[in-house]
Structure 1
Amino acid sequence: MDYRVIKEGDLFFLTGLNGDIVLGDDQGHGLYTKDTRFLSRMEAFIDGEKPSLLSSAGDKSYVASFRLMKEAKDEGAVEVHRERFIYSGILYERCTLTNYFVGDSHFEFSVSFDADFQDMFLVRKYRTGEVGRMEEIRTGDLEMTLAYMGADNLRRQTRISWDADGGQADQTGTVSFPLSLKPQEQKVITFCITPMTEQHPAAEPLTYEEGLKKLEASYEEWYENSSRVQSDSALFSGLYQRGLQDLRMLTTDVGFGDTTVAGLPWFAVPFGRDSLITALFMLPVNPQHAKGTLRTLAAYQGEKTDPWRDEQPGKIMHEIRYGELVTTNQSPFSPYYGTIDSTPLFLALIGEYYRWTGDLSLAEELKPNMLRALDYIDASLEAGSGFMAYKQEAEKGFPNQGWKDSANSIIHENGEYAESPIALSEVQGYVYQAKASLVPVFAELGEPERARRLETEAAELRARFESAFWMEDEMCYAIALDKDLRQVRSVSSNPGHLLMSGLPEESRAKAQSKRMLRSDMFNGYGIRTMSTDSTGYYPMSYHNGSVWPHDNAMILLGLGKQGFKDEAGKVISGLLQASAHFEYQRLPELFCGHDAKLGYPVPYPTTCSPQAWAAGTSIAFLQAMLGLYPNAARKEIALSPFLPEGMNELKAERIAIGNGHLSVFVVREAGSSTFKVQVLENTTGFNLVD
Structure 2
Amino acid sequence: MEYRVIKENDLFLLTDTKGNIPEDHPYGLGLYTKDTRFLSKLDLKINGQEPVLLSSDAAENYMATILLTNVQTEIDGKLELWRESVEVKRTRYIYDGVLYERIQLTNYYPKQIAFELSVHMDADFADMFVVRGFQTGELGKGTGTEAADRSLSFSYLGADQVRRATSVTWDRQEQSVHENGDVFFRVSLNHGESENIRFTVQPQIGEACVTEPIKPEDALEQLKHIYKVWDQQTAKVQTDHELLQRLVDRGLKDMKVLLTDLGYGSFPVAGLPWFGVPFGRDSLIASLQMLPFNAQIAKGTIRTMAAWQGKAVDPWRDEQPGKIMHEIRYGELANTKQIPFTPYYGTVDATPLFLMLIVEYVRWTGDLALVQELEPNIIGALEWIDRYGDRDDDLFVEYHQESSKGIANQGWKDSGDSIVHRNGEYANTPIALSEVQGYVFQAKTGIADLYEALGRNEESTRLRDEARRLKSKFDEAFWMDEHQYYAIALDGSKHQVGTITSNPGHLLLSGMLDESRAEAVADMLISHKMFSGFGIRTMGAGEAGYNPMSYHDGSIWPHDNSMIILGLSKTGRQQHANQVMKGLIDSAGHFEYERLPELFCGYDSSIGKAVPYPVACSPQAWAAGAPLVFIQSLLGLFPDGVGKEIHLSPVLLDGMNELTVSNIAIGSGILSIRVERSGESDISWSVLENTTGYRVIAD
SS of the counterpart of 1:206?
Answer: coil
5+ long unaligned stretches in structure 2? 74-81
Q: CA deviation at 1:183?
A: 1.5
5+ long unaligned stretches in structure 1? none
Q: CA contact under 8 A between 2:317 and 2:346: conserved in structure 1?
A: yes
Q: CA deviation at 1:382?
A: 5.5
What is the identity, as a one-letter code, of the residue corresponding to 2:553? N
Indicate the residue corresponding to 2:631 in structure 1: 622
Q: CA contact under 8 A between 2:391 and 2:398: conserved in structure 1?
A: no
Deviates more, 1:471-480 or 1:281-290: 471-480
Q: Matches of residues 1-16 of structure 1 in structure 2 within 5 Å?
A: 1-16=1-16
Indicate the residue corresponding to 2:183 in structure 1: 175
- Given candidates 642, 666, 677, the residue that maps to 2:651 is 642
Indicate the residue corresponding to 2:243 in structure 1: 235
What is the identity, as a one-letter code, of the residue corresponding to 2:4? R
In the aligned structure 2, how far is the partner of 1:384 from the partner of 1:589? 36
Indicate yes or no: 2:406 matched with 1:403. Answer: no
Deviates more, 1:52-61 or 1:153-162: 52-61
Deviates more, 1:173-182 or 1:584-593: 173-182
Deviates more, 1:437-446 or 1:313-322: 437-446
In the aligned structure 2, how far is the partner of 1:180 from the partner of 1:382? 73
Indicate yes or no: 2:547 matched with 1:538. Answer: yes
Q: CA deviation at 1:202?
A: 2.9
Indicate the residue corresponding to 1:444 in structure 2: 453
- Given candidates 554, 561, 568, the residue that maps to 1:559 is 568
In the aligned structure 2, how far is the partner of 1:686 from the partner of 1:269? 37
SS of the counterpart of 1:474?
Answer: coil
Q: CA deviation at 1:201?
A: 4.3
What is the identity, as a one-letter code, of the residue corresponding to 1:56? S
SS of the counterpart of 1:383?
Answer: coil
- Given candidates 514, 527, 538, the residue that maps to 1:505 is 514
Q: Matches of residues 288-437 of structure 1 in structure 2 within 5 Å?
A: 288-379=296-387, 380-381=389-390, 383=392, 385-437=394-446
Q: Spell out, residue by residue over 1:660-690, the C-alpha distance to the aligned partner (whole angstroms, 9 max, x if none).
A: 1111101123111x42111101111111112
Q: Spell out, residue by residue over 1:260-306, the C-alpha distance to the aligned partner (whole angstroms, 9 max, x if none).
A: 10000000001000000011011101111111101111111111111
Q: CA deviation at 1:356?
A: 1.2
In the aligned structure 1, how far is the partner of 2:421 from the partner of 2:517? 22
Indicate yes or no: 2:223 matched with 1:215. Answer: yes
TM-score, length-normalised on structure 1? 0.98
Indicate the residue corresponding to 2:60 in structure 1: 60
Indicate the residue corresponding to 2:493 in structure 1: 484
- Given candidates 204, 209, 215, the residue that maps to 2:212 is 204
Distance 1:683-1:531 versus aligned 2 partners, 3 A rule: same
TM-score, length-normalised on structure 2? 0.97
Indicate the residue corresponding to 2:87 in structure 1: 79
In the aligned structure 2, how far is the partner of 1:44 from the partner of 1:534? 50
Q: CA deviation at 1:76?
A: 4.9
In the aligned structure 2, how far is the partner of 1:131 from the partner of 1:62? 32
Deviates more, 1:301-310 or 1:76-85: 76-85
Deviates more, 1:245-254 or 1:55-64: 55-64
Indicate yes or no: 2:266 matched with 1:258. Answer: yes
SS of the counterpart of 2:536?
Answer: coil
Indicate the residue corresponding to 2:79 in structure 1: none
SS of the counterpart of 2:60?
Answer: coil
In the aligned structure 2, how far is the partner of 1:474 from the partner of 1:229? 40
C-alpha RMSD of the superposition: 1.2
Q: Spell out, residue by residue over 1:68-111, the C-alpha distance to the aligned partner (whole angstroms, 9 max, x if none).
A: 11133976522211111101100001001112222221111110
Q: CA contact under 8 A between 2:550 and 2:601: conserved in structure 1?
A: yes
Percent identity reads 52
- Given candidates 680, 694, 697, the residue that maps to 1:671 is 680
Q: CA contact under 8 A between 1:75 and 1:101: conserved in structure 2?
A: no
Indicate the residue corresponding to 1:280 in structure 2: 288
SS of the counterpart of 1:85?
Answer: strand
Q: CA deviation at 1:623?
A: 0.8
Alignment length (residue pairs): 689
Q: CA contact under 8 A between 1:525 and 1:577: conserved in structure 2?
A: yes
Deviates more, 1:662-671 or 1:327-336: 662-671
In the aligned structure 2, how far is the partner of 1:287 from the partner of 1:326? 32
Q: CA contact under 8 A between 2:142 and 2:157: conserved in structure 1?
A: yes
SS of the counterpart of 1:71?
Answer: coil
Q: Matches of residues 603-614 of structure 1 in structure 2 within 5 Å?
A: 603-614=612-623
Distance 1:384-1:482 versus aligned 2 partners, 3 A rule: farther
What is the identity, as a one-letter code, of the residue corresponding to 1:252? T
Deviates more, 1:590-599 or 1:464-473: 464-473
What is the identity, as a one-letter code, of the residue corresponding to 1:256? Y
In the aligned structure 2, how far is the partner of 1:197 from the partner of 1:548? 36
Distance 1:166-1:415 versus aligned 2 partners, 3 A rule: closer
Q: CA deviation at 1:204?
A: 2.2
What is the identity, as a one-letter code, of the residue corresponding to 1:48? G
In the aligned structure 1, how far is the partner of 2:274 from the partner of 2:492? 33
Q: Spell out, residue by residue over 1:347-392, the C-alpha distance to the aligned partner (whole angstroms, 9 max, x if none).
A: 0111111111111111111100000110010112252522000001
Distance 1:538-1:384 versus aligned 2 partners, 3 A rule: farther
What is the identity, as a one-letter code, of the residue corresponding to 1:78? V
Deviates more, 1:628-637 or 1:549-558: 628-637
